[in-house]
Amino acid sequence: MSEIASVRPRSVGWPGLNLDEHQWPDTVRFLPYWGDLYWDGIDGQRILLLGESHYRKEGMSDSLEVTRPFTRDVFRGMAEPIRHTDDGPFFKALDSALTADGKPDAQDAADAWKRVAFANLSQAFAGSQANQRPRNEELLAGGDVLVEEILPTLKPTVVLVLGQTTWRLLPHGKREEGLPPFLARDVNRLNGRRRYIERRDIWSLDYTGGSALMTWVYHPSWNIDTWQDRALALHHLIDQANGR
């Protein structure tokens, strides 16, 4: 793994802010997941993984009692050193991106999840199946909630956007012309039948009280980017944030 930075945590704690006691407004229908060591971060940076939307079982309610704990319930187990053979490709891909390892040790993956946060852009269930996508309006509205409510509380310095659609419909941020883009070197080497986007620009995402650098990767479930490129995208952002 000589070309991918290893996880070297460095404490950068954020005193005085207890996320468990924070009073989230009702517009945040899905509370983000954050690990116990989120404030310590990875390589000095607080990292938010930004996905698209959640799916629900048939008949599940949209009430706050259901949605509020949903993200945390889904991802809390990732911070435990237990992995199952039936885990979906999305979760396996994120394990590899966080550890920079194609077949990560379960304990290493769990330790990495303790140091990051996860949220979805949409604040509504997309449906009950993976092929049911959220409406564009829900993603656009979720971007406002993200910037107005979630980011000022989590205060990330790095945001890795998981999916081109999520990136395209995030209505905030500006391109950082002076920063080198991330180049996904393997995306067309293994997927040569069509041309995928290799150059991923770095954008800044400002919010009340801070700013984060962000870029994107293709949705991890689609197996377009390799795990190496996803890991490199994350560490490219960390390196650029450390160089500010």
Domains of the chain: 28-242 (3.40.470.10)
CB neighbours (10 Å) of residue 43?
19
* pLDDT tops 60 at residue 241: yes
Residue 5 to residue 63: CA distance in whole angstroms: 42
In this structure, the number of other CB atoms found within 10 A of the CB of residue 145 comes to 19
Check residue 194 and give its pLDDT.
Answer: 79
For the segment 93-139, what is each residue's pLDDT rounded down to a tens digit?
999 999 999 999 999 999 999 999 999 999 998 865 556 667 788 89
For 192, phi then psi, to 5°, come to -80, -5
- 42: three-class secondary structure by DSSP: strand
The closest alpha carbon to 96, from 205, 1, 164, 201, belongs to 1
Alpha-carbon distance of 75 to 178, in angstroms, equals 35
Whole-number Å distance between alpha carbons of 21 and 62: 23
Local structure of 47: helix, strand or coil: strand
Q: 3-state DSSP: the chain helix, strand, coil percent, rounded to 5?
A: 30, 15, 50
Task: Report pLDDT for 5.
Answer: 38
Query: pLDDT confidence of 88, banded at 50, 70, 90?
Result: confident
- The proportion of the chain whose per-residue pLDDT surpasses 70, expressed as a percent, equals 88
Q: Please give the model's pTM, rounded to 2 decimal places.
A: 0.90
Question: Between these two residues, 18 and 53, which has the higher pLDDT value?
Answer: 53
pLDDT value at residue 95 = 98
Please, are residues 110 and 79 in contact by the beta-carbon 8 Å criterion?
yes
Distance CA 151, CA 2 (A): 32
Q: What is the pLDDT of residues 149-187, one digit of tens each?
A: 999 999 999 999 999 999 999 999 999 999 999 999 999
* C-alpha–C-alpha distance, residues 31 and 33, integer Å: 7
